[in-house]
A and B are shown apart, each in its own frame.
Chain A
Amino acid sequence: MKILVCMKQVPQKDAPLKLNEAGTWIREDLSYEVNEPDAYALEEALRQKEKHGGEVVVITAGPARAQQVLREGLAKGADRAIHLEDAAFVGLDAFNTARAFAAAIQDEPFDLIFTGLQSDDYGYAQTGVILAELLGWPHATIIMQIEKSDSGGASSSIRVKRELEAGFFQYVDLPLPAVLTIQSGINKLRYATLIGIKQAKNKPMRKVAMAEVQSAVGPNQQKIERLYIPQKTKKTEMLEGSPGEIAKKLVDKLRNEVRVL
């Protein structure tokens, strides 16, 4: 089993975000981390490899700082990494990101590609499905479990458990190669070990410049005209004071306004 895991670097959850001067993007001088759903995708790939053997390759697109998510992937057990390295990748829409990935891996025969189910920055929830369509592969989204995989030559297939809405689930069989978007919580994340971090330094990292995939990428078909802090739809009454005073004010609201006491 040869599995590619698409990973993204996103702003850290607690990082204070500021708008750039043009009001079209955030200022990028902040702390970043691995997009959380992608961490679950990587973990699932590592578990599949531990069960069935094979190789796990991590890929990302972004400037030099994005290499950190690949280093983390390698430290946790991925075998090698592919870095589409250019600041311009950050501004690509999902269609173009998928096209760049497809171009970068065109000479590599993968059995499976995993992505997180969506990113914490754009939140398109599209790149994995688009990548499958570009490659001509089947896909399944919001995967909660990989039940079995028969890697028996030409008839290889996989059974996955999809999460549906309203508490429903569904098993789906699909042939390989395939793209799966992985739901958060599918597994328990591992930590990188010291040995893993050390070994990661010697693992191969292929760099792909924008020029190498440029011919596959077109103009963005959707454009962010303006980014802004959302207007409040509700008038929030902020309660202030010492913890004791706040507690008293809250109880007053609970008794006289909400009427639950």
Chain B
Amino acid sequence: MDILVIVEQTGGKLNRVSWETLAGAQAIAAETGGAVEAAVLGSGISSVAAEVAAKKVARVFALESPQLAAYTPDAFAAALQQFLSDKKPKLVLMPHTYQVRDFAPKLATALGRALISDVIGYKKDGDRLLFTRQMFQGKFAADVSFAGEPPHFVTFQTGAFRGDQAQAGASAAPIETVTIEVPAAALRNKPQEAFKEAKQAVDLTQAGIIVAVGRGIKEQKNIELAQQLAQALGGELAASRPICDSGWLPMDRQIGSSGQTVAPKLYLALGISGAIQHIVGMKGSRTIIAINKDAEAPIFEIADYGVAANLFDVVPPLIEEIKKAKAGA
């Protein structure tokens, strides 16, 4: 086996980010000449397996067990350890989801292998592959190689590849059901049902204009300035995680991997450095304007318009100019 993609499903529904991983696998296979196979874990997953089999893959393995119905790291790692020891793939690709983060390091360790996590791309370097990942909160990128034996484990950051570019197959790929035995006693974690907190007061995903603040806002009382800018533009106020962690804005206004993912017409980032966890939640915005005093901040990598200046100097006149423009319009 060359490349194995482990797709993610919950309750018989495929997590769409799996298509991104599959697109990445297909791109690597096209360059290295290997075959791509896919595996899905769970209980009652035949329809998910069929959905994946419609894509351009050599085979889909459905790892079925009642013990895989609810996710636990013990069951997932044990099932995949059995499966991979048998199939011996060279490369195992997974999406960098919270679930994968929870079991993949355990799985790789159980097999004595390495996991290059949160990868954003790859490069072919002679006979080997280098995997690119962000370092120091996105200020640098690193090309990383595997030094040990395969299987080599890689997780892809959300957005690293385009899910809509996962190629369909000419005909449906064969599906092989693999029955996995995991003794119930081996499952130490007892998970309860997933739930949502009291419903979100604001749905930022519907906002056309978002003004977001980060650490550069310095103090809670300065949030007012960003609020005035949001009001002048007729937009919603949002924030990066540290601002919500500090309690300066409620958690339901958080943008990023642990908050909401948005794609407004305009995203105006004030004092946001652009850590990866924030970027994944807003990089789909139509236009990004960033104001940050640090000209080297990673947010400028993805901004359409950048202002490398103190936001406290720029925002007050900006609010006045916007008000003037609106009054004149």
Contacts and interface: CB of A to CB of B under 8 A. Distances in A.
A196 interface: no
B302 A233 contact: yes
Contact of B101 (A36, A141, A221): A141
A134 interface: yes
A159 B291 CA distance: 42
Contacts of B325: 251, 254-255, 261
A13 B240 CA distance: 15
Contact of A243 (B303, B309, B324): B309
A209 interface: no
A235 to B, nearest CB: 8
B189 A226 contact: no
A223 B144 contact: yes
B307 A172 contact: no
A228 B144 CA distance: 12
Interface stretch (B19-27, B33-41, B58-66, B293-301): B293-301
Interface in A208-261: 219-230, 232-234, 236-240, 243-244, 246-248, 250-251, 253-255, 257-258, 260-261
Contacts of B251: 185
Interface in A59-102: 93-95, 98
B301 A230 contact: yes
Interface stretch (B162-170, B171-179, B194-202): B194-202
Contacts of A46: none
A253 B289 contact: yes
B136 A239 contact: no
B190 A230 contact: no
Interface stretch (B48-56, B85-93, B106-114, B218-226): B106-114
Residue of B116, B289, B321 with most partner-chain A CB within 10 A: B321
A148 B89 CA distance: 42
B195 A230 contact: no
Nearest to B117: A124
B63 to A, nearest CB: 20
Interface residues of B, number: 94
A19 to B, nearest CB: 8
Interface string B118-137: 10000001000010011111
Given A124-B117, A132-B106, A221-B148, A26 B266 contact: no
A188 B266 CA distance: 33
A168 B133 CA distance: 27
B321 A236 contact: no
A17 B242 CA distance: 21
Given A121-B135, A133-B106, A261-B325, A237 B305 contact: yes
Contacts of B97: 165
A95 B109 contact: yes
B322 interface: yes
B44 interface: no
B287 A169 contact: no
Given A95-B114, A125-B117, A221-B148, A250 B197 contact: no
Interface residues of A, number: 79
Interface in A9-34: 11, 13-14, 16-17, 19, 26
A261 B326 contact: yes
Nearest to A120: B137
Contact of B301 (A139, A234, A244): A234
B105 interface: yes
A84 B199 CA distance: 46
A28 B269 CA distance: 30
Contacts of B139: 17, 229
Contact of A230 (B134, B308, B329): B134
Given A130-B109, A227-B141, A244-B317, A219 B197 contact: no
Contact of B309 (A138, A188, A236, A246): A246
A142 interface: yes
A149 interface: no
26 contacts: A94-B105, A121-B135, A123-B118, A124-B118, A129-B109, A133-B77, A167-B200, A168-B196, A170-B194, A170-B195, A184-B241, A184-B245, A221-B113, A222-B147, A224-B144, A225-B142, A226-B143, A238-B305, A240-B308, A251-B321, A251-B322, A253-B305, A254-B233, A254-B322, A260-B208, A261-B322
Given A168-B195, A171-B191, A229-B139, 17 more contacts: A120-B136, A123-B117, A139-B106, A141-B101, A142-B98, A170-B193, A173-B189, A185-B251, A222-B114, A226-B142, A237-B305, A243-B313, A246-B317, A247-B320, A250-B289, A253-B289, A258-B286
